[in-house]
């Protein structure tokens, strides 16, 4: 009985030590893992806050305002005439398999890292027209990314509601990225 109690005490001390060591290591990581679950909206909001605290962005004269949502025809014209930036909010793997010509990858799930990759292209003009799309309706990712960019100071944002599904369904031109 005494050895069982001693063994349980040793196991308890080892488990406690491992827990404390894990928590300490996590706190010193460049991107610590959260100790409390956050939903996708909260995680995206946190990413935006970290991005905004790192840098400030510049503004320029505003071009023509986009409507809140674009139809397939309006979006097709926007793409053909290269009127502004196009953001694909689908996961990076789907972007690599095919995306709208000229679109930049800005997936909601990996927003902070992906934003760093497209930051220079987007921040050159906060009023530049930006159209955001995802897989197809309904698409929460496009709305979340639009709201995140809006809170970062971007002012000319629109969503192509039909998304990738409508684009490919209309047999529009697409690009792939290896």
> What pLDDT was estimated at residue 2?
76
Is the overall model pTM greater than 0.85, yes or no? no
Residues 6+ apart with CB under 8 A from 34: none
More confident residue, 58 or 94: 94
> What pLDDT was estimated at residue 102?
95
DSSP 8-state assignment for residue 58: -
> Taking 80 as the threshold, does the pLDDT of residue 14 lie above it?
yes
Helix/strand/coil for 86: strand
Q: Dump pLDDT digits (tens) for 105-159.
A: 999 998 999 999 999 999 888 888 999 999 988 889 999 999 999 999 999 999 9
> Taking 60 as the threshold, does the pLDDT of residue 59 lie above it?
no
CATH architecture of 40-169: 3-Layer(aba) Sandwich (3.40)
Helix (H) or strand (E) holding 88: strand 85-88
Instruction: Say what percent of the chain tops pLDDT 70.
Output: 93
Contact 31, 54 (CB under 8 A): no
Q: Dump pLDDT digits (tens) for 16-37.
A: 988 888 888 878 877 777 778 8
> Taking 70 as the threshold, does the pLDDT of residue 62 lie above it?
no
> Taking 80 as the threshold, does the pLDDT of residue 101 lie above it?
yes
Residue 93's pLDDT band (boundaries 50, 70, 90)? very high
CA distances for 89 relative to 50, 139, 142, angstroms: 19, 9, 6
Phi, psi angles (nearest 5°) of residue 157: -115, 140
Residues 27, 19: Cα–Cα separation, whole Å: 12
């Amino acid at each position: 009985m005494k050895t069982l109690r001693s063994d349980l005490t040793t196991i308890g001390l080892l488990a406690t030590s491992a827990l404390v060591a894990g928590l300490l290591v996590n706190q010193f990581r460049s991107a610590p893992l959260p100790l409390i679950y956050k939903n996708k909206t909260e995680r995206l909001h946190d990413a935006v806050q970290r991005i905004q605290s790192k840098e400030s962005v510049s503004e320029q004269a505003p071009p023509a305002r986009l409507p809140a949502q674009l139809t397939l025809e309006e979006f097709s014209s926007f793409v053909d005439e290269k009127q502004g930036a196009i953001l694909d909010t689908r996961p990076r793997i789907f972007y690599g398999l095919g995306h709208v010509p000229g679109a930049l990858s800005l997936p909601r799930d990996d927003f902070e890292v992906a934003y760093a990759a497209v930051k220079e292209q987007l921040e050159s003009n906060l009023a530049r027209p930006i159209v955001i799309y995802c897989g197809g309706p309904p698409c929460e990712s496009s709305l979340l990314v639009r709201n995140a960019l809006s809170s970062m100071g971007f002012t000319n944002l629109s969503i192509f509601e039909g998304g990738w599904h409508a684009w490919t369904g209309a047999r529009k031109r697409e690009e792939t990225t290896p």
